[in-house]
Chains A and B, each alone.
Chain A
Amino acid sequence: MNMSAVFLGLALLLLVTMAAGLLRIIIGPSPADRMMAAQLLGTSGIGVLVLLSSALDMPALIDVGLIFALLAAVSVTAFTRRRIDQDPS
């Protein structure tokens, strides 16, 4: 059994857990639940990317994971910020 198959199997496992987390985005009662679920999926997505980069032998996929890690905060910040003329609600 070679290493890339092991990595691919692990990526598959992570993908299944991501699919389970997806349910929280679809049914999650409040918008905050959905946002948190999206953040969680982003983190597991980085894991899948790193595993795929070993399994498919594409080192550039690590850069994709790097960008995800760097920009993970953007959407959650955009979700919480209020404008100047807007009452906090």
Chain B
Amino acid sequence: MSLLLFVFDSILLLTLLGLATAAVLSPEPRNAVMLFIAFGLWLSLVWARLGAPDVALAEAAIGAGIGGALMLAAARRSARRDNRRDNRRDNRRDNRRDVSCQDAQ
């Protein structure tokens, strides 16, 4: 039983730390937020394992509900803005290239 619990603990904690690292290192906003939502799920498993069902309930209600939705909205906004900005920058670069071509001619 105690060995089983130890294996359970170590797998839970290793994946938790791996998830947190991936969430922190992910440069794309939406991916980072989805990793963060999964991190919240893992966290409530940890609270359940440590005998804190109150905290697990709160984490489940907040992590799966309102927290994830808030962050997803923000991530989508920033992804859209990045797209717009990239388009704009591409346009600008094209213009500049046109100008330099004209200069060369």
Residues of A within 8 A of B (CB): 2, 4-5, 8-9, 11-12, 15-16, 18-19, 22, 25-26, 31, 34-35, 38, 41-42, 45, 48-49, 52-53, 56, 58, 60-61, 63-64, 67-68, 71-72, 74-75, 78-79, 86
What's the dominant secondary structure at chain B's contact region? Answer: helix
Neighbour of A64 across the interface among B31, B48, B51, B69, CB < 8 A: B48
Neighbour of A8 across the interface among B1, B73, B80, CB < 8 A: B1
- Write out the residue numbers on chain B whose beta carbons fall within 8 Å of the beta carbon of A38: 34, 37-38, 41
Chain B interface size range:
35 or more
Residues of B within 8 A of A (CB): 1, 4-5, 7-8, 11-12, 15, 18-19, 22, 30-31, 34-35, 37-38, 41, 44-45, 48-49, 51, 53-54, 56-57, 60-61, 64-66, 68-69, 72-73, 80
Closest Cβ–Cβ distance, residue B57 to chain A (whole Å): 5
Cβ contact within 8 Å between A12 and B8 = yes
20 inter-chain pairs at a CB distance below 8 angstroms, sorted by A residue, are: A8-B4, A12-B8, A18-B15, A22-B19, A22-B38, A25-B19, A31-B31, A34-B30, A38-B34, A48-B45, A49-B48, A56-B51, A58-B48, A58-B53, A60-B54, A61-B53, A67-B60, A74-B69, A78-B68, A78-B69
